[in-house]
Amino acid sequence: MIYAEHLRKEFKKIVKEPGLKGSFKALFRPQKEIIAAADDISFHVPKGEILGFIGPNGAGKSTVIKMLTGILTPTSGECRINGKVPQDDRKNYVKEIGVVFGQRTQLWWDLPLTETYSVLKEIYEVSDEDFKTRMAFLNEVLELESFIRSPVRTLSLGQRMRADIAASMLHRPKVLFLDEPTIGLDVVVKDNIRQAIMKINKEEQTTVILTTHDISDIELLCDRIVMIDKGRNVYDGSLRELKAKYGQTREMHFEADPNAGLTPEKLLKGLGASDEHITVECDRNLFKVRFNSAEIPVAKMLNHTLSVTAVRDISVKDADIEEIIRCLYKEGADGDE
């Protein structure tokens, strides 16, 4: 369905030194630098899958999305969606996709929502009949009814996002690109949006590519994730595999007896574990220990802790996905240096 092969996109950037002096320098001799916002990005997405496309800020997610949607022309490499190269026949290609940029809206700001839909109907050449059934479906999934007649500028962020998703779905796209669809929304609204995405994906077999910073989005929605950092692929696989691979991290929380006078140094002493497998944070008597259970078995860790101090309360749990991703980012960054 979607094939991205060795995508690369370069940008020219003018480097400016700070301050007044730098401004003057940039005036007379601008320093240019070429940076690759995306470099050798490859992945495939089968039909009907929801792919989570993640990475830290500035990793190049949006650049890749913009190449896939035909907005940017890759410097090298190629992408094919439904057998079409976006840049070759843009007009016909974009009829098959829907795009939502969470930070921008494609709705007519000053006019009621219905007006935007009737314009889009013409632009995408949706027949009257299709339009009717489509609006009914979107209305049901995204619950637009209560605000469809209000001017867009009066909508809340959550309503606007629902409206934007509906706008991108009007023409029954085969692929839906969602760039940060839950950004800035509260938990209840986020959940609403997720339900809707799932429903659309299920009922229409729409392939979805989703970028997000919200880990719950990924856990709840995505079959698979592709992670990029500094313009390069760092992970491609299912969430479960990721957890299995990096999920041996455990977190132990306990409250030490104040009389025991425990310090992180004292705790680590005699354990014989290297720094990369264990980190200790402490706030007065509250300790948080993160360790790799493959290197330091949980039982050993518990016994050791109990042998050096008396504790009031102790618990060990799996590290959550956020933690794993933080590790991965860190690994990517270290590998780069």
Partner 1 sequence: MNKIRKQYLPFARAGIQTLIAYRMNFLGFVIGGLIYCFVMYYLWKAVFLSSGGSTFMGFSMTDMVLYLFLSNMTSQLTFSSVSTDIGEEIRDGSIVMRMIKPVNTDMSYLFTELGGAFMKLIVFGLPVILGLETYRFAVSGTVMFDPLNFLLYFVSASLAYLISFRVNLCFGFVAFYVKNLWGIGILKNSIIGFLSGTLIPLAFMPDILRIILEYMPFASMSYTPVMLYMGKYEPTEILLRISLQLVWAVLIYGLSKLIWAGAVKRLSVQGG
Partner 2 sequence: MRRFFRIYRILAAQNLKRVMEYKADFLTGAVSFLIDQAVGIAFIFIIFSQIPQLSGFTFEQIVFIYGFSQIPKGLDHLLADNLWCVGYFIVRKGDFDKYLTRPINPLFHVIAETFQVDAIGELVVGISLMIYVSGSVNLYITPLSVILFLIAIPFAALIYTAIKIATAALAFWIKSSGFVIQMVYGMNEFAKYPTTIYSLPVRLLVTYIIPFAFAGYYPALYILTGNDPLFNIGGTVLISLIFMAIATFIWHKGLSAYESAGS
Positions touching partner 2 (CB under 8 A) are: 11, 57-63, 66, 69-73, 87, 90-92, 94-95, 97, 99, 101, 103-104, 106, 108, 110-111, 115, 118-119, 122-125, 151
- Whole-number Å distance between alpha carbons of 52 and 158: 21
Instruction: Tell me if 197 sits within 8 A of 221, measured CB to CB.
Output: yes
User: Residue 175 or 252: which CB sits closer to partner 2?
Assistant: 175
160: closest CA among 135, 193, 205, 126? 193
Shortest reach from residue 179's CB to partner 2, in Å: 10
Q: Which does 106 bind (CB under 5 to 8 A by kind): partner 2, partner 1, none?
A: partner 2
Shortest reach from residue 186's CB to partner 1, in Å: 21
Shortest reach from residue 10's CB to partner 2, in Å: 10
Quote the strand ranges of the chain, DSSP E: 2-15, 31-45, 50-54, 76-81, 97-101, 175-179, 207-211, 224-229, 232-238, 249-256, 278-283, 286-292, 311-318
Does residue 27 interact with partner 1 by CB under 8 A? yes
Figure out which of the listed residues 26, 85, 189, 308 binds partner 1, where binding follows CB under 8 A. Answer: 26
Shortest reach from residue 153's CB to partner 1, in Å: 12
Shortest reach from residue 98's CB to partner 2, in Å: 8
Query: By CB under 8 A, which span of 24-32, 35-43, 144-152, 211-219 interacts with partner 1?
Result: 24-32
Instruction: Tell me if 229 sits within 8 A of 329, measured CB to CB.
Output: yes
Q: Which does 66 bind (CB under 5 to 8 A by kind): partner 1, partner 2, none?
A: partner 2
Q: Which does 23 bind (CB under 5 to 8 A by kind): partner 2, partner 1, none?
A: partner 1
Q: How many C-beta neighbours within 10 Å does residue 130 have?
A: 15
- Whole-number Å distance between alpha carbons of 47 and 207: 6
Q: Which two tokens stand for residue 329?
A: 């980012």
- Whole-number Å distance between alpha carbons of 171 and 117: 10
Where does 146-214 have alpha helices with state H? 157-169, 187-204
Q: Which does 125 bind (CB under 5 to 8 A by kind): partner 2, partner 1, none?
A: partner 2
User: Residue 21 or 317: which CB sits closer to partner 1?
Assistant: 21
How big is the CA angle at 82 (ends 209 and 206), to the nearest 5 degrees?
Answer: 45
User: Residue 20 or 294: which CB sits closer to partner 1?
Assistant: 20
